[in-house]
Amino acid sequence: MALFAQIPALRVVAVVEQDPVLREAFAKEFAINGYADLDVMLKKEKPGIAAIFLPHIDCPAAAIKCARQGVHVMVEKPMAVSADAAQSIVTATRTAKVKMTTGYCWRLHPVAREIKRLVASGIIGDVIGAEGRCAAGRLTRYLDGHSPWMLEKAKSGGGPIYNLGVHWIDLFRWILQDEVTEVSGQNVKINQRYDIEDNSFAHLRFKRGTMLALDISYTVPDSYPYGRELYIGLRGTRGVLSWSPAYEGQKDVLHICSDDPAMSGSPVRSMEFNLEGVKGYSGYMGREYVRAFADAVRTGGEPPISGEDGVAALRVVEAVYQAAAEKRWVAVKS
277, 250 Cβ separation under 8 angstroms = yes
Please state, rounded to an integer, the average pLDDT across all residues of the chain: 95
Q: Return the ∠ at Cα 174 (arms to 171 and 178), rounded to 5°.
A: 120
CA–CA dist 220, 319 (Å, integer): 25
Which CATH number is 110-278+307-331 given? 3.30.360.10
255, 243 Cβ separation under 8 angstroms = yes
Question: What are the pLDDT tens digits along the chain (334 aa)?
Answer: 999 999 999 999 999 999 999 999 999 999 999 999 999 999 999 999 999 999 999 999 999 999 999 999 999 999 999 999 999 999 999 999 999 999 999 999 999 999 999 999 999 999 999 999 999 988 888 998 889 999 999 999 999 999 999 999 999 999 999 999 999 999 999 988 999 999 999 999 999 999 999 999 999 888 887 788 999 999 999 999 999 998 877 799 999 999 999 898 899 999 999 998 899 989 999 999 999 999 999 999 999 999 999 999 999 999 999 999 999 999 999 8
DSSP state of 237: S
39, 66 Cβ separation under 8 angstroms = no
Say yes or no: do domains 4-102 and 110-278+307-331 share a fold.
no
* Whether CATH 3.40.50.720 fits 4-102: yes
**Residue 247 host element (H or E):** none
CA–CA dist 36, 66 (Å, integer): 15
Long-range contact set of residues 177-181: C-beta below 8 Å, sequence gap at least 24: 177/120, 178/206, 178/207, 178/208, 178/210, 179/206, 179/207, 179/312, 179/332, 180/204, 180/205, 180/206, 180/207, 180/212, 180/316, 180/319, 180/332, 181/205, 181/206, 181/207, 181/331, 181/332
Where in the chain are the domains? 4-102, 110-278+307-331
pLDDT at 225: 78
pLDDT at 113: 98
CA–CA dist 102, 289 (Å, integer): 9
pLDDT at 10: 95
- 3-class SS at 39? helix
Q: Which amino acid is at 242?
A: S
CA–CA dist 311, 317 (Å, integer): 10
CA–CA dist 186, 131 (Å, integer): 16
If we measure between CA atoms, which residue out of 183, 178, 190, 254 comes closest to residue 214? 183
197, 159 Cβ separation under 8 angstroms = yes
- 3-class SS at 320? helix
pLDDT at 141: 87
What would the pLDDT profile of 208-237 be if each residue is shown by its tens digit?
A: 999 999 999 999 888 887 788 999 999 999
